[in-house]
Each structure stands twice: as C-alpha cells, then as structure tokens.
Amino acid sequence: MPNARGEPLVMHWQEFGDASRALASTIAASGFHPDVVLCIARGGLIVGGALAYALDVKKCLSINVEYYTGIAERLEIPVLLPPTPDLHDMQAMDVLIADDVTDTGNTLALVDDFCRGRVGEARTAVLYGKPWSIVHSDYQWRETDKWIAFPWSADGPVADVAPR
C-alpha cells in the first residue's frame, strides 16, 4: 500500500465546518435518514457529532478502534477496544458510521462488519478517502493521497502521558 506523499494536507476548523455540512447535505440528499450515528473514536467522534447535528439525529454512539499508533504508523490489523456498543436494540435502526478518514479502509471495514446483520441498514461517511483504500465509503467529502492534519489532532497532546 502506498504511503501518503509530500506535505500534509492541513484542515482548519472553518474548513471542517464547511466540509461536515457539505457531507451532511450529500447524505440528506441521498434519502438516507439514519436513526443513529456511530462514531469511530477518536477522529470520528468530532465528525460524527457534526453530522448528527446537521442531520438532526439525536442518538449517537461511539466505538473504539485501535489501529494508528503515530503518523503513518499502525498495528498489523485494527482492533475493537472495549466497551463495544450493544447493538441488540438496534435491529430495526439505520446507522451512519462516521470517521474522519478511510486510509487503508481496514478500520471502516471492521466497524461495518461489526454492524452488518445487527442493525437495519448501515452506511458509512468520511471526510476524506484515500485512493488505495480497500473500501470506499458510501459518503465522502474529498479524496486525497496526503496525510491529513485535522484541526483536533494537528498540534498533538498538551500533556506528556506515559503509555498504559
């Protein structure tokens, strides 16, 4: 799989607001009306929250996936971290799975597989897709081959916390 090339693509807060609004408009125009937004933590929490507001969806859940350990550094495969959402009561609900980017596509595929057959319908939405991703999101704002510096993660942590 190729690595992101060149200087990172820098997204600022205003552009994030415009992008998430445009993405929500695309979802609404498609006729899909999710009952729940499932946010892939961590980058998808902010994206999913913005989409939930724009789509007027009150129910939001999060699912934790560990994959990236640094810039362009990741585990061999993504791993669901506990606690995982209980989807038992969601068999008739339509779910929008939200994340910031689908790079390899492995994280999105893992969460999509987790939902399939356990919810009414699951669709995916990301701000950015990569051309080499193994899956393509149902809804995507843009495509890029660059590493993306999102406004919520570009500056790094404010505290030096030892790994657990």
Does 55 fall in a domain? yes
CATH number at residue 124: 3.40.50.2020
d(CA 130, CA 79): 20
The pLDDT-based confidence of 158 (bands split at 50, 70, 90) is: confident
Does 160 fall in a domain? no
Does 65 fall in a domain? yes
Domain total in the chain: 1
- Residue 149 CB burial class (10 angstroms; 0-12, 13-18, ≥19): middle
Domain that includes residue 22, residue range: 9-149
Q: What's the pLDDT at 3?
A: 47
Write out the chain in H/E/C secondary structure: CCCCCCCCEECCHHHHHHHHHHHHHHHHHHCCCCCEEEEEECHHHHHHHHHHHHHCCCEEEEEEEEEEEECCEEEEEEEEECCCCCCHHHCCCEEEEEEEEECCCHHHHHHHHHHCCCCCEEEEEEEEECCCCCCCCCEEEEECCCCEECCCCCCCCCCCCCCC
Does 154 fall in a domain? no
Q: What's the pLDDT at 157?
A: 82
Does 21 fall in a domain? yes
What average pLDDT does this structure show over 46-65? 97
The pLDDT-based confidence of 13 (bands split at 50, 70, 90) is: very high
What average pLDDT does this structure show over 41-47? 95
Does 162 fall in a domain? no
Does 156 fall in a domain? no
Per-residue pLDDT tens for 23-40? 999 999 999 999 999 999
Please report where in the chains the tokens 């994280």 appear, as a residue. Answer: 107
Does 155 fall in a domain? no
Q: Which amino acid type is present at position 56?
A: D
Per-residue pLDDT tens for 108-151? 999 999 999 999 999 999 999 999 999 999 999 999 999 899 99
